[in-house]
A and B are shown apart, each in its own frame.
Chain A
Amino acid sequence: MSDITPPKRPRRWMLYAPLGLAAAAGAGFYAMLQGLQDGSYDPRGVPSVLLGKPVPDFSLPALEGVDLPALAAADLRGPLPGPVLVNFWASWCAPCIIEHPQLMRLAREGIAVHGINYKDRVMEAGAFLQRHGNPYRRLGRDEPGRIAIDWGVYGVPETYLLDRQGMIRWRWAGPITADTLEKDLRPLLRRYA
């Protein structure tokens, strides 16, 4: 009798393995959904390659009819008196309208905000600033959108934060809402002040 091996008992844990796998996947999806909701996870987000680097070389003309100086890379090289925001925007961009009050508030608080007007018409860009107010100290016009490509911009609005050394510390693709301003931007502005 002893030479005959008893039939193997089915391994019970194997039955629960798919259940465990499904539970793990469920937890993963839940975390993703949570991230989507509070904005910490964006599956369509393209990470910027410029983080920790100075801005690429460029020189843009001013926007005609608006009394603002033009913008060039030289204006964004350190040392700077404080952190600087560079905002890509366009008059045809609806989220830019949502974002605008936040930029206006930052400008009133004395933060240097520079603008790059992306693929826009002169008249309409000017009218936008007239209607919604002007938060910019300097404003460059990138009508062909070439400088935006050098920055890795893939949509408007997009905003970059530079520290006093002129290094890019933060890039936000999409509108800076009141929530983004308080939760993300303000702590960074304090840190790089």
Chain B
Amino acid sequence: MTRWLFFCLLLALPAWAAVGDPNERLPDPAKEAIAREIGRELRCLVCQNQSIEDSDAQLARDLRRLVRERVAAGEDSAAVIRFVHQRYGDFVLLRPPVTAATMLLWATPILALGGGIAVIMLRRRRALAEAAALSPEEARRLAELDRGAA
């Protein structure tokens, strides 16, 4: 039981570690939640592997503030993300859009999975084909066994 509780506590840790500067937050919790969701979609261009919600860089802070201002003004998520996207391009989106340039990026998992399945199926088929054919020696022994059993 204690172990179970401890496990739950471990899961909960990141939740309160993510709380940022309270001065930055919007007074309306619903809008703050929207702003946070938007922020998690946007890449910090300074640290690059963090979202602007997670980053402590000056530019990330400015972008967080910008996102909150626009959310507070009543803009929807898509419009806010579009605003930032127009300025920083695809790079700022942690989930890049599917375009000709990013096609390979998106298709890689499918290609890898499809390739793997193809390899497995080819090997299996070949294994079956090989198992079906008996060497002359095996054919002779099998005939012997058959005779013995009869």
Contact = CB atoms under 8 A, between A and B. Distances in A.
| A and B form one complex | yes
Contacts, number: 49
Interface stretch (A27-35, A70-78, A107-115, A143-151): A143-151
Interface stretch (B20-28, B71-79, B85-93, B104-112): B85-93
Contacts of B136: 1, 4
B46 A154 contact: yes
A145 B46 CA distance: 15
| Interface residues of chain B: helix, strand, loop or mixed (majority) | helix
B45 A154 contact: yes
B98 interface: no
B87 A46 contact: no
A145 B63 CA distance: 10
A74 B58 CA distance: 29
A9 interface: no
A119 B45 contact: no
B133 interface: yes
Contacts of B133: 4-5, 7
6 nearest CB pairs, A to B: A154-B45, A49-B89, A152-B87, A5-B133, A46-B91, A152-B88
| Interface residues of chain A: helix, strand, loop or mixed (majority) | loop
15 contacts: A4-B135, A7-B135, A8-B126, A46-B45, A46-B88, A46-B89, A47-B89, A144-B62, A145-B58, A146-B62, A149-B66, A151-B87, A152-B88, A154-B46, A154-B59
A48 B91 CA distance: 10
Interface of A: 1, 4-5, 7-8, 44, 46-49, 119, 144-146, 149-152, 154-155
A48 B89 CA distance: 7
A46 B135 CA distance: 63
Nearest to B62: A145
Contacts of A146: 62, 66
Contact of A49 (B46, B88, B126): B88
B139 interface: yes
A150 B91 contact: no
A46 B91 CA distance: 7
